[in-house]
Amino acid sequence: MTPLRRKMIEDLQIRHFATSTQKNYLYLVTQFAQHFGRSPDQLGPEEVRAFLVHLVNEAKVSRGRLCHYVSALRFLYKITLQKPWDIERIPYPRSEKRLPVIPSREEILRFLGCIRNLKHRAVLMTCYGAGLRVSEAVHLKVTDLDSARMVLHVRQGKRRKDRMVPLSKTLLQLLRVYWKAVRPRDWLFPGVYDHALSVRAVQHACKRACRRSGLRRRITVHTLRHSFATHLMEAGTNLRTVQLLLGHASLRTTAVYTHVSTRDLLSVKSPLDPTDSPN
């Protein structure tokens, strides 16, 4: 391991970056170095710019992936290498304002009913019923369920934050059936070798259930979290409460669901339609 790689790992660890983020940043910086065949400490703003142009025009990476590269390179040059040049010279791509496509509650229930494996059904229903990220759901422990207070304790979610979310009665009933069948001891959703169930296993289970359901809308694990928020908004839950339940740091992030929710939208009458008044 090179001294630069070791220093970057230590910098990431000091700032409590998630393990997956650490691995991703190191991989992306390695790709950058391999592209030029030189160590990053020998490369500057012009090489960074040329690499980003390559990613856009030749590698055809998505906007999301490009943002990951920018974040990794900014961390490398600002924190680890402490370069004096303006870090804004590594620009983020312009954001794409796309609204998530949200299935109806009936479609979600149909999807969940197509999951044959009890453990997979329980974890995916938890993602929808509590609005959890898949990484949060698979890292739940048996002790995180508080049936007396009807809450779930989400520990060390995104940005290392804990939060409490309501425990649905319907979800609790399924989890009790699941617990009697599986008898988990530590992790609520155990995988192999005493580890938590992997995110990839949940994603594969979601794809299989989506195919079986025959729904025209594509449902991913994160769709379930989006649906949780949107369906709450449509039921009249205020934006601040939804923000707290989702664990968003900014209200602006949660505000996207005001555009997706159809509750207020459907109350607006088009001028094309006739009015009820005799005029």
158 tagged catalytic: yes
Residues 90, 92, 94, 98, Cα dihedral to 10°: 170
Chain centre to alpha carbon of residue 27: 20
Q: Which of 121, 225, 226, 231 is catalytic?
A: 225
Structural contact between residues 145 and 164, judged by C-beta atoms closer than 8 angstroms: no
The DSSP H or E segment spanning 55 is helix 45-57
Q: Which of 5, 163, 212, 248 is catalytic?
A: 248
- Helix/strand/coil (H, E, C) string of 56-120? HHCCCCCHHHHHHHHHHHHHHHHHHCCCCCCHHHCCCCCCCCCCCCCCCHHHHHHHHHCCCCHHH
Q: Which of 78, 158, 207, 212 is catalytic?
A: 158
225 tagged catalytic: yes
Q: Which of 120, 133, 226, 231 is catalytic?
A: 133
176 tagged catalytic: no
Q: Please count the helices (runs of H) and the strands (runs of E) in the chain.
A: 13, 3
Q: Which of 83, 163, 207, 222 is catalytic?
A: 222
257 tagged catalytic: yes
Q: Which residues are catalytic?
A: 133, 158, 222, 225, 248, 257
